[in-house]
Structure 1
Amino acid sequence: MPHATMQRAILLILIVVLTDQHIAEALSRAYVRAIAGRAGLNLAIREYDYGVDGSFDEVIVRQHRRIESGFSLSFQLKASTQWQLDSTHVIYDLEAKTYNDLILRRSMRAAIPCILILLALPPDSERWLICEESELRLQGTCYWEYLSGSLTENRTSIRVRILRSQRLTPKSLLALMQNVKTGEWS
């Protein structure tokens, strides 16, 4: 292969970037990591996705050591630009298979709870992440929902409505962990 042709091939390889879907997924993981870190929870991201993307684990102090308490909250993480707001809800079309997985998980009363987390991104991918000298800003916000109801017979998607007040913040994440500990969900 002539030298100039090889250089062009290398250049083409270097300019290939992730898809917008993969970039959105990476940003959603960064968002969740930041929230978990600020809340003081340990975060585990699954290597393989079998309906659960990760979990938050409580850390306690025992005999001057920090250890995991055994209380955990699993999550399925989605990132999308395809959502709408009304006065009280975020409206999102979730894949039917994912919805059914989360409904089945909730029906297993002894199972570790698994919430849906949606990163609602702006439509313009150029606005997803703002990098300035004084701050790094991820545009959009995460909402959470502990889905309940009946399985859907839909084959493609089901519309879910998440209360806008259910933003994932360090404070709300700690309240969710308290729900895990008490077994009470509102």
Structure 2
Amino acid sequence: MKSMLPIQTIEELISTSYVSAIIANAGHVPNTISHDFGVDLEVRRIGKHDSKRIDLGVILELQLKASVKWIAEAEHIVFDLEADAYNRLVFRRDNATTPCVLILCCLPRDQTQWLKVCEDELVIKKCCYYFFVDGPATTNSSSLRIRIPRSQLLTCQSITDMKHKIYGETLQ
């Protein structure tokens, strides 16, 4: 069946669903941003006041990239990020109040492998990695090769670990 959506749109929607499921399973609320100014999802913290739940605000913002154009090395995932996207993350890191992390959703090259559905499970392949920009802006005009440690696999635990790293152990 031929899709009416562009491949890039399908990649983006799959990555948003994948990351949202991880955020929700980690006990937070994913919030999709309707206007893309460099942030695609927020991770919102929910607290309990008396017997009611209350939104305590954004703890982390995410810029999502989905691609089949990544390389797996022994220790790293290698990805060519658009220079403009990288520089916006650097600018944001230096000027925003809420941290923003790049999430790279690595999809298989074969589109038929992206999603499998049956009565017992929903499988989305392959996985996502997170990356905090830590260097200076690039002078490259097209792209910048980034190397994401494979240990930075996006999981429920890594969401919790990022929260603790950013805010310390006091943010529950």
5+ long unaligned stretches in structure 2: none
Q: Which runs of 4+ in 1 moved over 3 A?
A: none
Q: Does 1:22 align with 2:43?
A: no
1:54–1:75 contact (8 Å) kept in structure 2: yes
Identity %: 38
Q: CA deviation at 1:55?
A: 0.7
Matched, 1:130 2:119: no
Residue equivalent to 2:47: 60
**Would you say how many aligned residue pairs link Structure 1 and Structure 2?**
169
Q: Tell me, yes or no, if structure 1 residue 148 matches structure 2 residue 134.
A: yes
CA RMSD across the alignment: 1.7
Q: Is 1:121 matched up with 2:69?
A: no
For normalisation by structure 1, the TM-score amounts to 0.86
Cα shift at 1:34: 0.5
Larger radius of gyration: 1
Amino acid at match of 1:88: E
Mapped to 2, the partners of 1:150 and 1:136 lie a distance apart of 40
- CA shift in 2, pair 1:122/1:16, >3 Å: closer
What code does the residue aligned with 2:121 have?
E
Give the structure 1 partner of residue 158 of structure 2: 172
Partners of 2:90 and 2:19 lie apart in 1 by 22
The residue number in structure 2 matching 1:4 is none
Partner of 2:29: 42
Which of 91, 102, 105 is the matching residue for 1:104? Answer: 91
More helix by share: 1
> Paired residue for 2:73?
86
- Per-residue CA deviations over 1:135-180 (Å, capped at 9, x if unaligned) read 1100110100111111001111100111101111111111112223
Letter in 1 for 2:150: R
- 2:92 & 2:24 partners in 1: Cα distance? 26
One-letter amino acid matched to 1:45? T
- Letter of the aligned partner of 2:160 in structure 1? L
Q: Is the 8 A contact 1:46 1:52 kept in 2?
A: yes
Shift of 1:40: 1.1
Structure 1, unpaired ranges of 5+: 1-13
